[in-house]
Amino acid sequence: MATLTVSGLNKTYGKKQALHDVDLDIADGEFFVMLGPSGAGKTTTLKSIAGLQEIDSGTVTIAGRDMTGVEPYRRNVGMAFESYALYPQRTVSENLASPLKSKRLGTFSAQDQKDRIDAVTTTLGINHLLSRLPRELSNGQRQRVALGRVLVRPADVYLLDEPLSHLDAKLRAAMRAELKRLGQMSNTTTVYVTHDYQEALSLGDRIGVLKEGRLVQVGTPADVWLRPVDSFVARALGQPEMNLLPARVDGGALVAGDGAVRIPLTGGDLAVRPGDDVRLGIRPGDVRATVDEEPADGRVTMAGRVELAERLGRQIELSVRVGDANLIVLSDGAHPFAEGDRVALSVATAKVHVFAGSAGNTAEAITDDTARLGAADGTAHRGPAHAPPAGRAASTTAPSTVPGVSNGR
Ligand SMILES: Nc1ncnc2c1ncn2[C@@H]1O[C@H](COP(=O)(O)OP(=O)(O)OP(=O)(O)O)[C@@H](O)[C@H]1O
């Protein structure tokens, strides 16, 4: 158990700057998830913490001890990287036992070894594989055994790089819940890397979102979901992605879709002026699609036409034309919308995120990320700063509107 602090971490590979001034302050026992697309610098951060590569500048402190110049094997970190090394001639059972036999990592009685291996094999669902050799395992099974080899021994910090990437969706979801439980039991400080937002929301006490080597937001799952600091973070979480509509402040309203979307400005602390270009961010799951929506307090309605309808299990994903804008909507499937149908959409103004405009402020320019200004009802301003939680319990207050957070908790 230990705190982990990273300060001013910079790393370049040749001319490529992979990390820019990364700061992390991870509490003792915290489960911290780093989320970002491919190439964002997630693995580079983990390797820097582990001491597996030279860094250009910055410090890594584990349990209050500066790790500069400390060899990786003396840092007391357990690491699982995406490609796994198992002893090919040893059974799963022998592979799991070997980290506990190394005297360098402490001495474990036979009973202690058995208990630890039992806990890990049960969590990872690999009890039935104990007598097999690695070549007799599927990739997903091999990945779980390799993860087991890391989790079986105590460490100050676990560093886990996409440890569930080879599992199918169902097993990943089951494993997320189990990992969460194991983490809570062992209470070991963990940095977990993923590009899967659901994994991040369901596992993380806090999430750090990386973009091109920079940490753009650090917060609880609720912070990053409900108050993304910019449109990059907003789009990094959620599938289908958040809709971003170019809009203008006009006549006391936020107007988009050639006038088809009008959200009255009701005051609050949304800092916009008439004539400002902004973007509205609306999550597909926050929109209600009905045949005939009645106006209601705190909600805006808009009329559209279904251009595409695709059933995804119970829900239907709709692509709806609203004026000259296009909105992706996840309907609950109660009404069997089909292409060409008229549809009434409504969304709570508190759920409409407002971002700054961009050059040209067109629908095509949305890859240009801009800062969040607040919500359309003037509440829920930008997310809080980076303070680490007092303990693991901090994120259990995440509201149930954050998808995935309720899983495994
Ligand atoms: N050994 C290396 N030599 C040169 N460039 C590298 C090296 N390792 C990483 N990079 C570059 O540094 C950047 C960050 O890479 P990193 O592997 O940390 O990203 P990542 O977020 O872990 O991506 P992924 O999800 O694809 O694993 C990328 O642009 C990558 O191409």
pTM value is 0.89
Q: Tell whether the model's pLDDT for residue 83 goes beyond 60.
A: yes
* AA identity, residue 231: S
- Ligand 1 atom closest to the Cα of residue 210 is 21
Q: How far is CA 335 from CA 98, 277, 331, in A?
A: 57, 35, 8
Contacts of 57 (CB under 8 A, 6+ apart): 8, 9, 10
- Ligand 1 atom closest to the Cα of residue 46 is 18
Distant-in-sequence contacts of 46-54, Cβ < 8 A, 24+ apart:
46/79, 46/81, 46/159, 46/161, 46/191, 46/193, 48/6, 48/9, 48/11, 48/19, 49/4, 49/6, 49/77, 49/157, 49/159, 49/191, 50/75, 50/77, 50/79, 50/159, 51/75, 52/79, 53/11
The 3-state DSSP composition of the chain as helix, strand, coil percent (nearest 5) reads 30, 30, 40
Q: In b/e form, how buried is each residue of 314-328, taking b as 16+ CB within 10 angstroms?
A: ebbebbbbbbebbbb
Ranking 55-64, 125-134, 290-299, 398-407 by mean pLDDT, the lowest is 398-407
How close is the Cα of 49 to the center of ligand 1, in Å?
15
Q: Tell whether the model's pLDDT for residue 182 goes beyond 90.
A: no
The finding on whether 409 has its CB within 6 A of some atom of ligand 1 is no
The finding on whether 43 has its CB within 6 A of some atom of ligand 1 is yes
ipTM field: 0.96
What whole-number distance in Å separates Cα of residue 205 and Cα of residue 4? Answer: 14
pLDDT at 297 (0 to 100): 77
* AA identity, residue 249: V
Residue pair 329/320 in contact by the 8 Å Cβ criterion: yes
Average pLDDT over all residues of the chain? 87
Split at pLDDT 50, 70, 90, the class of 381 is: low
What letter does residue 54 receive in the DSSP assignment?
Answer: -
Split at pLDDT 50, 70, 90, the class of 216 is: very high
How close is the Cα of 385 to the center of ligand 1, in Å?
27
